[in-house]
Amino acid sequence: MNRHRLLMKAWLGLVLVVLALPILCMIALSFNRSRYGTLPFHFSLDWYRGLAGDTALIDALRTSIELAAEVTVLSVVLGTLLSFGVVRARPVVSGTLSQLQLMVLTVPAIILAAGLLTVFDWFGLGQSTTGLVIASVVTSMPFVVLVVSARLRDLDPRYAEASRTLGAGPMRTFATITAPLVAPAIVAGALLAFVMCFNNFAIQLFTAPIGVSTLPVQIYSMVRLGVTPDVIALGTIIVCCTVAIIVILHLVTGSAARVFIRTNKED
């Protein structure tokens, strides 16, 4: 039995190493002097210094951050309202809405984008910045709803009931009881929406108007020319920020994984 256990744990370790390898490799090579990311390794910060001079990348980064910020605000407002509605709505309504959001996240982005482009044409938007923002909100908002509605469902209704019994009105109950209990979930939802929107390459590729390059789209146009050290350096910074956000998410929600999986076992 023990040998069996050990083998399985070794396999888990191996899988984790393989998962980490490309990311670690990119981080390591960002500190390497070679222009083409080849060995031997000589430590250097040249690529980070050169990064500021790469206007195409920096512009794309700015575009991406602005887009993600806008989309996060919209997603949090719409998603939080929707979550409060969903937990009170009839099962038919809430079920349909969650099926719709599940579909948004499971249908391949290229197919969803094709449909969105057609709808944008119907509304006279075409490939526009508005379209890009709408498409990003649709694909980011479900994450806010996922986190916030789960929190609302787990909330013990007795807190609010106690507050009402003790004479507080609905507004006061919301402000002093419900809001503080839900706030961490909203923060977590916002972080997740930001990361998901920032990194959503396929949706951005198809819905962004000509001349607007978000960072993933810009990298896509550069990757065919081979590895460039600027991208490796910027990629390293972004991966580190992503890890930081996931760690914050983990601390705020108590378990980042619970956002993505629902288990019957409480850790």
Residue closer to another protein (CB basis): 45 or 251: 251
Among 81, 175, 179, 183, binds another protein (CB under 8 A): 81
Q: Whole-number minimum distance, CB 70 to another protein, in Å?
A: 14
Residues 161-180 close enough to bind another protein by CB under 8 A = 161, 164, 170
In the set 61, 82, 182, 252, which binds another protein (CB under 8 A)? Answer: 82
Give the residue with the Cβ less far from another protein, 99 or 176: 99
What is the SS3 assignment for 133-174? HHHHHHHHHHHHHHHHHHHHHHCCHHHHHHHHHCCCCHHHHH
Measured distance CA(9)–CA(3) in Å, rounded = 10
CA 21/CA 218 separation, integer angstroms: 24
Rule CB under 8 A: choose which of 56, 69, 100, 179 binds another protein: 100
Q: Are 48 and 195 in contact (CB under 8 A)?
A: no
Q: Could you tell me the smallest distance in angstroms from the CB atom of residue 58 to another protein? A: 16
User: Could you count the other beta carbons within 10 Å of the beta carbon of residue 34?
Assistant: 13
Are 232 and 178 in contact by the 8 Å Cβ rule? The answer is no
Total binding residues toward another protein, as defined by CB under 8 A = 111
Using CB under 8 A as the binding rule, whether residue 246 contacts another protein is answered as: yes
Q: Is 263 in the site for another protein (CB under 8 A)?
A: yes
**Contact between 235 and another protein per CB under 8 A:** yes
108 binds another protein, rule: CB under 8 A: yes
Residue 39 three-state SS: coil
Tokens of 175: 């402000």
* Residue 197 binding another protein, by CB under 8 A: no
By the rule CB under 8 A, 15 interacts with another protein: yes
CA distance 238 to 136: 19
- Per DSSP, 41 falls in state P
Query: Which one of 146, 188, 208, 233 is in contact with another protein (CB under 8 A)?
Result: 146
Rounded least distance, CB 53 to another protein, Å: 20
- Quick one: which of 76, 238, 252, 253 contacts another protein (CB under 8 A)? 238
* Closer residue to another protein in complex, CB, 179/247: 247
| Shortest Å distance, C-beta 142 to another protein | 7
Between CA 66 and CA 72 the distance in angstroms is 10
| Phi, psi of 260, rounded to the nearest 5 degrees | -100, -25
Distances in whole angstroms, Cα of residue 144 to Cα of each of 78, 148, 250, 265: 9, 6, 15, 23
Residue among 58 and 78 whose Cβ is closer to another protein: 78
Q: Does 267 bind another protein (CB under 8 A)?
A: yes
